[in-house]
Structure 1
Amino acid sequence: FLAAFNQNPRAKLYWGGGMLLGLAAMLAFAVMERLVFTGLWEFSLPYRISALFSSMHTGGGHIETYLALSLPFIGGLFFYSVRWGGPAALILFFTGSYVLLATFSRGGYLAFVVEFLVLVAGLAAYTQSQSRAQSSIGRWRPLGIGLALIGVVALMTIPAIRGDVIRQRFSTVYEDKAIRENHWLDAANMMDNDWATRWFGMGVGSYPRTYFLLNNENVVPGSYKIETESYHRYLRLKGGDALYMGQYIDVRAHRHYRLALDLRSPEGKPVNLEIPICEKSLLYSFNCLALSVKTANQSGWQTHELDIFSENVGYKRLGVGKPVQLALFAGLNPETVIDIDNVELIDETGRDLLANGDFSHGLDHWLFATDNHLPWHSKNIWVQVYFEQGWSGVISLALLLLAALAKLLGRISYQPEASILLSALAGFSVVGWVDSCFDAPRLTLLFLWVIAVALLDLGHAVKGEILK
């Protein structure tokens, strides 16, 4: 497949264009998210966007990782003489800068600076090497464009800097650094102490399970499980570090609803289930109905019903409003265990707004979200690779990056695409120092694609045509 990709110049064109189309779609959705939940220029609320990354339901730096890998491709539109390339590049660049600001990610900010400098330096090196064929103005074009963009981005940051969130984020740099270092050390201490683990790790995707069982941070994450009893499925929730099992529903403002569900305490003790109905993004809640149900002091299934008036939850202005989610939360006590079944939310017409409320199809239509991201992420790609794949994984990743670096540096004087790929890998590496970027399979695939293209010999026939 890679051989066919390398031999077809249009494949590289499609890939470069696809990167920009994907970036444009993500940026458009991120701007819409800001409009719906906070407003475009509101930077005083601690709201961090997630855009199209549902994988961020446990936190993580997925959106800034994607931006680090994709923003450098805008450089191709700036550099090549495409009729519509300049305006498109400006729109993508300024929108991308705005969305990056709205992530409030310190690692993302640093990655942006690093990859921007790498891209400008690389393209400047290319134009200098082509000096015989260009005027002196053309040779300094990348540097001039870069300086102009830096000035505009600096002006864009003024509203964000005036907000409280960015100042608070940077005021806790040293505190968060200490937390992350302890977290990395805890990850290493949780690993099995044998040669096989040291060389091949604990297994891909094993970190959350291992953290749940062995962490030294005095955290007991909440958990869930689909249980089966006499061929009948139900949901079992356990309390602990906040975990909400939620489903988005079509609730309208100022309407009456009836909530019904079956609950059971396996030990026959009274337990309390919180059922917030909130206007909610993936991670942040607004304007909630705080509902709860408590079981009686007896064993066996108990049916509970609540009559609800939605008040302002689900209010829409001009047909646009925040999405509404019903969530199930067992509380913060790790000893709390609740079995849940036959959840229904009936509207005034008798329609059940919940899908798969009996969990007969597992967790279809349901998705959990957490408040604390540390139990789910090791927060560093090198720690992550070492934990999951051992020294063999660390060495392999290092060799891949070094090989790509050597290949791109060797082509930077005659292939402007090399600067774009080098910039993307530089930004990814910076974000990866503070986030475990490989937790999202889509981002892992994208990173490996960038590595693969970097290692391919593009050939003289297609030089300069990936984004042309």
Structure 2
Amino acid sequence: MSSLAANRYSFLSKGFSLLAVFAAGYLISIYPDIGWFKFVICAIYAGLLLFEPKLGFFFLTAFIPVLDFGVWTGNILFSEYDVLFLLTLAVLFWKQNNIFSVKYKGDTLFYALLIWYVLCGFIGFFDYFSEHFSDDIYQSPLNGIRVGKGFISAWLAWYVTRASLLENYRLTLLMLGAGILCGLLLLALGVLWERHVFSSILLSGNIYEFFETLLDFSSTYRITGFFSGMHVGGTALDGYLVCVLPLVFYIVTRQKKQSYFLLSILVFALGLYSLIVTFTRMTIAGFAISFVISGILLYRDNKRLVVKSGLRMFDVYYVFLFVAVIFILTVIKSQAGYQALLFGIMVFFASIVVIHKVKPDIVFVGFLLIMLFSLGVYGVNDSITESQWHQDVDSLNALVIAVTSVVVLMFLGVASGVIFKIKGIKLKDIGIPALVGGGFLIIIVGMGSTRMTERMQGVSSDLQTRSRHWADVIDSAYSDSFWRPFWGFGMGSMPKLYYRSHLDDMPLPNYRWVENDGKTLLEIGKGGYPYFQKITLKPDTVYNLLAVVKFEDEGGILGVDICHKHILFSDQWQPDCVKKDFRLKLGGWQTLQWSFNSGNLGRRGWLDWPPTLQIHNYGSGIMSVDTIEITDSSGVQILKNSDFDNRLNHWFWISDFEHLPWHSKQLFLQVWLEQGWIGLLLFILLIGFGFRHQWKLLDSGESIPIAIVPSMIAMIGLGLTDEYIDEPQTTLMTFAVFFAALQWPLNNVREKALA
């Protein structure tokens, strides 16, 4: 490359870097509260990256699923992650010298996708529908920016990543892997908090309450993580999980140090737990299929290990062992519960260890096996007799089930230990096969849970609902223009099209911020959709609520409730709520007052969902809210932006039970709707060429397809009945993987780049 071209590319790189800094600075300046401290935090972060730019890849992947505080700040259009992303991108573009110097295979498609995404973003911004101005992002042109930024972010993220892989492959891969692990861990910890697992053990001190909460697979509550976009439902969390879990499994298989191996297994197990408690059928099924592909690709790649150690995963014995143990453990769980399952696993693996590790002393080995047998029988029998689900099993039958299951598992464990010892197989060599078996066991047990059994019984009716909704979405996209289906309706167009078609036949959320007669107001449309704010309350404390509202039509009702809530309610209403309905007079401003006792609200502090004030318009017209305040006995104001002077900062709306208006529920349909036939063709080409390139990598001896191919398969599987590319951070992760599939550098390309 000539010096003139190099200078031109360097100028473009640094110019883009400065543009990203200015964009980040603007977002920081309009971020609610915190003051100058937010600039200090961002400056420290930028300085850290300037010291070691490769850390940016760690932070980019680690904070994707958790750096979103929209339900607290009221921001739907941008999140805290956007600031981190822009600052990271600014440093990487500034520091990377070879970012423009290498030509990549697939660049034509790569750039074509960028051009088409940008074009569809403009279409989504300028071509929108709303009967009147609304601050609802989904009805505004800004939704084109909100959705489109996910695609653009993925493109830019891969753009700097591919250059870094050529510059320092090992360090970049290390940072990406560590970030993905950390991201899934943070998400899983958030899921445990969301399901009250931490509060159950830290506050109750009762180990049984902890396990009861952890293993509650009958609840109707569906986790959301920290994806604020799930205030209208959807599968943003599911899309992230099916995308990263195959990547994490690959990371587990690459660990050589035992401590790192065990830590990554823990993260993978927590990720599987999070997957199960989504209670989404295609999420679990899609990952299960991808997990099978992971095992096949791992076996193909790992022949050296499995052959030299004598461990062939697909030999008849090992296939039989795998299937038999999984089947027996599943039966034990269904007959005796989770305690029995844990004891069964212990008996099987402990039997292998006893035979494999203990010196060949028949008496001592026999003594250990008898003790193990007794402990196993006690654990399984106790689980049956004490379980609330198996009260109809008498003591004799319970003992027969316990003895039979333990004998079979112990026999398989002893036989395995003998074979492993004869063949010289070390216990560490069975770590990955055991992980695969454990993963399938978790999936099978999760699919057999009470909640999933209920969900599976509704497959037929849900498919009919999906089919009707798909037809409805297609009808909503009707246009007189012959060419419109070719270029689509633009990014973020799904909700506006649905609103346009259904404003007359169903109540949909509608609100706006207005200035009227010197007052700043929130106007809320009919439908009862709650508008809320997260607040801090002390338990058993008297608070006073004051609201100044106006209703222009008869039958106006302002509903107020304060409940523990994260993002969505379950099918059943939450306990510990305080509620009040105010019937309003026709016309004119009215001052409403209410004194209430918080009761249990806020009793568990940060370990529980935060108390959440919700206001509803239960009337048939528009309700105007001038002020709403909550004060304690000393007059201290609890609410932020209570008079709406700072527009809608800290206020957020939600749809607990109605989710179809915002989601097409099919990945390819969503792409067609927003990007037309041209965009759909480009998307299919991206997937097809991505798979083809990964096959080439496999043939060349690369192992990265073990991560990327199953991830793509899981995402496509979930996309058959859901879509998740309307949530920017999930879209970023999704398309970053697709782009990596298309352009992951071959080993010889990396060597040439370093030459």
Q: How does 1:43-442 map to 2 (within 5 A)?
A: 43-83=217-257, 84-128=259-303, 135=308, 137=310, 140=313, 147-153=433-439, 155-156=441-442, 160=446, 163-193=449-479, 194-215=481-502, 218-240=505-527, 242-267=528-553, 269-284=554-569, 285-297=574-586, 299-316=587-604, 320-331=607-618, 335-370=620-655, 371-413=657-699, 414-442=701-729
Which residue number corresponds to residue 9 of structure 2?
A: none
- Over 3 Å counting, the alpha-carbon distance change for 1:462 and 1:139 in structure 2 is farther
Instruction: Give me the whole-angstrom Cα distance separating, in 2, the residues matched to 1:282 and 1:82.
Output: 40
Contact 2:240 2:734 survives alignment (8 Å): no
Q: CA deviation at 1:16?
A: 2.4
Report the Cα offset of residue 455 of structure 1: 2.0
Separation of aligned partners in 1, 2:721 and 2:633: 49
Alignment partners' CA distance in 1, 2:441 and 2:669: 37
For residues 601 and 307 of structure 2, the distance between their equivalents in structure 1, rounded to whole angstroms, comes to 62
User: Which digits, 9 at most, give the CA deviation of each residue in 1:236-293, with x for residues without a partner?
Assistant: 11122x52111011112211111011111134x3400111100112102442112122
Matched to 2:166, the amino acid is: Q
Specify the SS of the correspondent of 1:458.
Answer: coil
Change in Cα spacing, 1:158 to 1:314, as seen in structure 2 (3 Å) is: farther
| Cα deviation code 1:276-323 (max 9, x no counterpart) | 1001121024421121222113x2221111111122222228x74331
What is the Cα deviation at residue 147 of structure 1? 4.9
Is residue 29 of structure 1 aligned with residue 190 of structure 2?
yes
Of stretches 180-189 and 196-205 in structure 1, the one that deviates more from structure 2 is 196-205
Structure 1: how far apart are the matches of 2:446 and 2:292? 22
- Shift of residue 374 of structure 1? 0.6
Secondary structure of 2:595's match? strand
**Identical counterparts, % of pairs:** 25
Displacement after TM superposition at 1:218 (Å): 4.5
For residue 342 of structure 1, report the CA deviation from its aligned partner: 1.0
Rg comparison, structure with higher value: 2
Q: Secondary structure at the match of 2:617?
A: coil
SS of 1:52's partner is coil
Query: Which residue number in structure 2 is paired with residue 466 of structure 1?
Result: none
CA contact (8 A) 1:438 1:444 kept: yes
1:462 Cα deviation after fit: 9.2
In structure 2, what residue type is equivalent to 1:58?
A: V
Q: State the Cα deviation string for residues 131-161 of structure 1 (Å, max 9, x = none).
A: 8x96254764999656533543455468756
Shift of residue 392 of structure 1?
Answer: 1.2
What is the rounded CA distance, in whole Å, between the counterparts of 1:417 and 1:14 in structure 2?
15
> Is the helix fraction higher in 1 or 2?
2
Question: Partner of 1:41 in structure 2?
Answer: 215
Q: Report the AA paired with residue 6 of structure 1.
A: L
Question: Cα distance 1:417–1:217, how it changes in 2: closer, same or farther (>3 A)?
Answer: farther
* Matched position secondary structure for 2:219: coil
Task: Tell me, in whole angstroms, the C-alpha distance in 2 between the residues paired with 1:15 and 1:76.
Answer: 12
- Between the aligned partners of 1:259 and 1:294, the Cα distance in structure 2 is 16
C-alpha separation in 1, matches of 2:246 and 2:644: 44
Supply the AA of the counterpart residue of 1:294: R
Greater alpha carbon shift after TM alignment, 139-148 vs 94-103: 139-148
Q: Distance in 1 between matches of 2:730 and 2:443?
A: 27
Q: Give structure 2 stretches of 5+ with no counterpart.
A: 1-98, 100-158, 201-211, 320-429, 751-755
2: distance between equivalents of 1:139 and 1:151? Answer: 15
Quick check: 2:295–2:436 contact (8 Å CA) kept in 1?
no
CA contact (8 A) 2:288 2:440 kept: no
> 1 CA distance for matches of 2:519 and 2:262?
58
CA–CA separation in structure 1 for the residues paired with 2:741 and 2:636: 54
Partner of 2:4: none
Q: Secondary structure at the match of 2:483?
A: helix
- Could you tell me whether the CA contact under 8 Å between 2:252 and 2:261 is conserved in 1? yes
Q: Distance in 1 between matches of 2:722 and 2:549?
A: 38
After TM superposition, give the deviation of residue 216 of structure 1 in Å: 9.7
Q: What is the Cα deviation at residue 460 of structure 1?
A: 1.8
Residues 146 and 380 (structure 1 numbering): CA distance in 2 closer, same or farther, change over 3 Å?
Answer: farther
Matched, 1:7 2:166: yes
Per-residue deviation, 1:39: 2.1
Separation in 2, partners of 1:253, 1:192: 53
Pair 1:438–1:320, CA change in 2 (3 A): closer
Deviation per CA, 1:48-68: give whole Å up to 9, x if none: 111121111110111111111
Structure 1 Cα separation of the partners of residues 601 and 457 of structure 2: 35
- Map of 2:412 onto structure 1: none
Whole-Å separation in 2 of the counterparts to 1:339 and 1:200: 40
Query: Is 1:127–1:139's contact at 8 Å kept on the other side of the alignment?
Result: no
Asked if structure 2 preserves the Cα contact closer than 8 Å seen for 1:120 and 1:146, the reply is no
Give yes or no for contact 2:237–2:730 (8 Å, CA) kept in 1.
no
List gaps (5 residues or longer) in structure 1: 464-468
Q: Distance in 2 between matches of 1:350 and 1:279?
A: 23
State whether residues 523 and 623 of structure 2, in contact with CA within 8 Å, keep that contact through their aligned partners in structure 1: yes
The code of the aligned residue for 2:567 comes to L
RMSD between superposed Cα atoms in Å: 2.6
User: Relative to 1, partners in 2 of residues 1:159 and 1:79: Cα closer, same or farther, differing over 3 Å?
Assistant: closer
- TM superposition score normalised by structure 1: 0.90
What is the rounded CA distance, in whole Å, between the counterparts of 1:419 and 1:69 in structure 2?
13
Cα 1:157–1:19 change in 2 (3 A) is closer
Q: Secondary structure at the match of 1:437?
A: coil
Give, in whole Å, the separation in 2 of the partners of 1:418 and 1:320.
Answer: 40
Residues 262 and 381 (structure 1 numbering): CA distance in 2 closer, same or farther, change over 3 Å? same
Q: Distance in 2 between matches of 1:170 and 1:342?
A: 46
